Structure 1
């Protein structure tokens, strides 16, 4: 009887271990390819981040970029068909002026669930296409919402997105908002843009240890991040447009 109980416990523990628990590959460089996909990268690059509409790169650990908290600039027609889910101030869409993207309306549980269904379908497509993980841009969008959105609303939505990623068999990456520990809602790793520039790398390390992908856009910030964390994290120096022929440097 004791043997049977032991066997059952082992089986149940095996079932309880999620497929998405595998961490990021260790010892590999990362390439950030949102401005266009290219297979012409060094053999040391084992992690590739690409837009959800691009194909994953064979033989690499592929992260699918999904704009989960804002709209893509070229998808305005799609979002006009879901206009109630776009954040508005006095009837006008609230825009992230740096990128020309509309913010999504996370203010009620019903709207968060509706948005999670849309973004969840994109996530499932990432999984079907062969991606291994997903990063949801951009968790700190609420800071550019004219005080219409709160941190609590953003993190509540993040919890829904992480659940959709895990249901699809993908690991989920927290994008920005270094001051918040996304592991509390199940994020598996972090994607940091310019933590060296903004002196945020220590915060990511505190939450995620070696499970961080770091992207820098200025040489001095890249050098700083490499010196402090290059032995633990993949760190890449890229051009702001992330073009295939643009700047690529690795620690």
Structure 2
């Protein structure tokens, strides 16, 4: 056999090895074109928690200049952050804002056996369908882009609302759907250098560390005698909003010397609006 023939055979053998090795590699999952891409080399930035027992304000209906001494402000993700304050970015992560249904693919909205949307009747919000991993990933891809916007706007934390939507799902959603989804949001939030809050949902507070939830934003724990239970899980990393004078009185009496408490009107309206209320301990 000539030297040329031996060389050709060696080359063909090497190609065959490469082809076999390539064939034996496991299939790689296709990338979600909607997902926000994060460089593999990106390092998690340290996150900051709200300063404990700092005066705070809940400004979801619209932004306005914080009262003197206010150090922590929660605003809707569409509003600007307040320079020099600790800013919490409100994101409706588990339900759809009224009037925003068309912004979501229909198959991502939770439907009953009759095909009708499952609603949060109190606020007129359709629930998102978190029942499968594929559904959760698609929903998280959209919400994570909102979180990116919070980071770009100068917020220090994110407040994903309606963590407890499973309790309004007519049995279609389970707590494990909510925890799997919020873990995805928490991982992304931390990569963006922001802290992430647990919103209400006392029954899942025992999982906060494993899920990566840094602090709590709690509504009406004074009204329902639950404030001490939240501080038992989160320590002083809790901010509380009450909507009644009785709730404010109880929250202030039980944990007001440890955490931030504010009384707002249910509409969390702006100063000058009918019904505007803001009180503290």
Instruction: Output the TM-score relative to the length of structure 2.
Output: 0.80
Could you tell me whether the CA contact under 8 Å between 2:225 and 2:250 is conserved in 1? no
Larger Rg: 2
**Aligned-pair distance for 1:18?**
4.8
For 2:174, the equivalent position in structure 1 comes to: 150
Q: Describe how 1:107-118 pairs up with structure 2 within 5 A.
A: 107-118=131-142
1:231 aligns with 2:257: yes
1:94-243 equivalences in 2 (<5 Å): 94-181=118-205, 182-243=208-269
Q: Secondary structure at the match of 1:214?
A: strand
Aligned-residue Cα RMSD (Å) equals 1.4
Gaps of 5+ in 1: 1-16
Offset from partner CA, 1:79-131 (integer Å, 9 cap, x none): 2xx11111011211110000000000000001011111110000000000111
Q: Distance in 1 between matches of 2:228 and 2:137?
A: 33
CA contact (8 A) 1:183 1:207 kept: no
Q: Which stretches in structure 2 are left out of the alignment for 5+ residues?
A: 1-42
Structure 2 distance, partners of 1:209, 1:135, is 18
Per-residue deviation, 1:26: 2.9
* Structure in which a larger fraction of residues adopt strand: 1
Instruction: Give CA deviations for 1:117-154 in whole Å, capped at 9, x if unaligned.
Output: 11000000000011110000011100000000001111
* Distance of 1:160 and 1:203 partners within structure 2: 25
Q: Could you say which residue in structure 1 is the equivalent of 2:14?
A: none
Whole-angstrom CA distance in 2 between matches of 1:111 and 1:142: 15
Q: Aligned-pair distance for 1:74? A: 2.3
Structure 2 SS opposite 1:50: strand
Q: Is the 1:47–1:61 Cα contact (8 Å) retained in structure 2?
A: yes
2 CA distance for matches of 1:131 and 1:23?
A: 12
Q: Secondary structure at the match of 2:71?
A: strand
- The answer to whether the Cα contact below 8 Å between 1:135 and 1:175 also exists between their aligned partners in 2 is yes
2:68 alignment counterpart: 43
Deviations 1:159-199 (A, max 9, x none): 11111111111100000111222222010000000011112
Distance 2:157 2:79 in 1: 14
The SS at the match of 1:180 is: helix
Deviations 1:195-217 (A, max 9, x none): 11112112211110000010000
Q: Distance in 2 between matches of 1:74 and 1:205?
A: 36
